[in-house]
Structure formats: C-alpha cells, structure tokens
Amino acid sequence: MNKYINYIGVMVVVLAFACKENSLPAIAPNVITEKTKNDTDDPAIWVNPKNAEKSIVFGTDKETDGGVYAFDLNGKIIKNKSITGVKRPNNVDVAYNFKINDSTFTDVLVFTEREKQQIRMFSVPDMMPLDNGGFSVFKNEKKLEYTLPMGVGLYTSSVDNTLYAIVGRKNGPKDGYLHQYKLSTDTTGVVQSTLVRKFGVFSGKKEIEAIAVDSELGYVYYSDEQHGIRKYYAEPTKGDKEISCFGGELFLSDIEGIAIAKQAKGKGYIIVSDQQKGQFNIFSRDTNKFVKAVNLSTTETDGCEVVTVPLNNVFKNGLFVAMNDAKDFYFYDLAKLGL
C-alpha cells in the first residue's frame, strides 16, 4: 500500500509540473500570418538580396492536400509563390546561389514530401520546379516508417560550395538515422540527388524531425525528441562522429524546431522549441551552453526560423518566425527575444 501511495504521489507531482502554466512573461508577436488550410509545421525565410522588404517567409502545411505557403512580411499569403497540392509536406529550408550552369545561379527552396517518400526542390523567387517531380529518399528500407521523410536542412559546403540536403524521417535505426544527399546539376542542366552518407545516432525514444545547419561554422544540429540536441559536422569528409549532445534536461518533453541566429565571429544563438512547455530555450552558438528561455505566446510549436539582418521598419533587428498551433505563424522582431 505504501508503495502504491508513493507512486501516486510521484505521478501527481509529475502531472502538476507538466500541466503548470509557463511562468515566463508572454511576448506578443509583431505579426500573425493568415491561416493555412490544414496544419502548419515548419518555416523558412528567404531574404531578398535586391530588396529586403520583399523577403518571403515560407511555411509548410502538413496534410495529404498540403502545401508550402509563401507569406510577405505582413503575414499575407502570396498565392502565386505558394506551392499547393503537396502530399504531406513537413519541413522546409532555403539556400542561396545554387549553380545551374557556369552562368546561371538561383536561390532554392527544398522541402520533404512525406507521402511520396521524397524531397522537392524549387527555384526562388520564381518558384519553378528543379527536381523533375522529386528526389526519392531512404531507398531500399524494409520498414515503411523508415522511408517517410520529415526534417530537412540545407548545407552549403565551405570547401567547394556543394549543396547538400540532410534529411530525417519518421522513424529509423539507432545509427545512420539521417541521410545526406548531394544536389548538383549535370552537364545537360538536369539537377540530380546523390546519397553521400548515412549518419546520426537516434535514442529510440520518439523521433527526429527538426534539423538545422550552420553552414558558416560547418555544423548540423538535430532534435532527438525527449533526449537531446545532437551536433555533428555537416561536411561529409569530416566524419560521422557525434560532437556533442546537449540541453535535454531543460525540456519538458519534445525537443522540436531549431533556429540558428548568426552573429559575427561565430557568435550568436541556437533557439529551440520546448514544445509542451510553450517556450523556447536559447543556447550560445559557440559554446552551446544554455542562456535563457523565452515565452513567445505560441502553442505547441514545431518549427521555427530566424535571420539576423534588418528587413523593414517592423523587423529592424532581424526576424524570428515560429509555427503556432492554429494554422498560422508568428513573426517577431528579433529584439523582442532580447538577443
């Protein structure tokens, strides 16, 4: 009986902690976007190099009839830049100056399309497909859940400017959970995807979705949900050994979206969604040590993204974007995070 009473007492404490409201002061967004059709998940920010005020925030809407919605900085949907009719898009990322041929370069958007077991690739801002319908991922896996892509992060190599897509999935093995694909154009101008390595440890506790790449410093981070934030080299030639796993003890449950706020000389912050607690935990970019947590008033945040350059009169200090569990995204001037 005593053991039973003790067990109940422990469970009450655990549940009370889990249900406790966030005690941090709620920070309101500058902009709340128009709502998507189904279920928002992950954002990416494309900074327009010619006119920052015309930058675009892309956000996935993850359903069978989902899409990647384009938003202007006022949160309005840009219909002619949005991609609809996608079979459960999950995560999205952008990269700059992808080489088409010796004289043509374009910025690109890449996202996972889970139900078709592939990644998609489009040019930005004209939104033309570059993938001939999609690049298959996780081929030859025997378990269906091992073939369903979720997270994606783009890495531009500091060695030779090669563009890579690092892709996660709904479930996978204890080792080699992530696959890294080289994206390149052949002599005829056709973009191809080539698997270059399998890497990344998985705790087996839940899943791996959020992936963020620091191309400048050459690292990839991913959320091993309910375990920790794992860090590896993004450059394939530097090996597959894990550099560190940090922060797990600070999260209530699921470790979700990751955004890297880049500052000069390798400084900056790594911002990670503490989903069930309704806050974001912020770590130092160079040391990965915990700095602080902030409550940005979002609910059940999956994905987030950040840029640290001024965009317009509202986002003078940069832009942080977080998914909110009401079919929308919240936009914040970066100064609101106190960074």
Residue 245 bridge partners (DSSP): 230
Tokens of residue 128, six digits: 């033309």
List, for the chain, all residue ranges whose pLDDT scores fall below the cut of 70: 1-21
Phi, psi of 9 (to 5 degrees): -60, -45
Length of the chain: 339
CB atoms within 10 A of CB 145: 11
Q: What is the pLDDT of residue 78?
A: 98
CA–chain centroid gap for 35, Å, is: 20
Q: Classify residue 216 by its DSSP letter.
A: T
The distance from CA 285 to its chain's CA centroid, rounded to whole angstroms, is 16
CA atoms within 13 A on the CB side of 34: 15
For position 3, what pLDDT does the model report? 41
In the prediction, which pLDDT does 6 show? Answer: 43
Structure tokens at 81: 């830049």
Total domains in the fold of the chain: 1
DSSP state of 197: E
pLDDT value for 23? 86
Question: How far is Cα 56 from Cα 277, in angstroms, rounded to an integer?
Answer: 29
**Which domain CATH number covers 280?**
2.120.10.30
pLDDT score recorded for residue 21? 58
Q: What is the pTM of this model?
A: 0.93
Predicted pLDDT of residue 102: 87
Which residue range(s) make up the domain with 139?
2-337
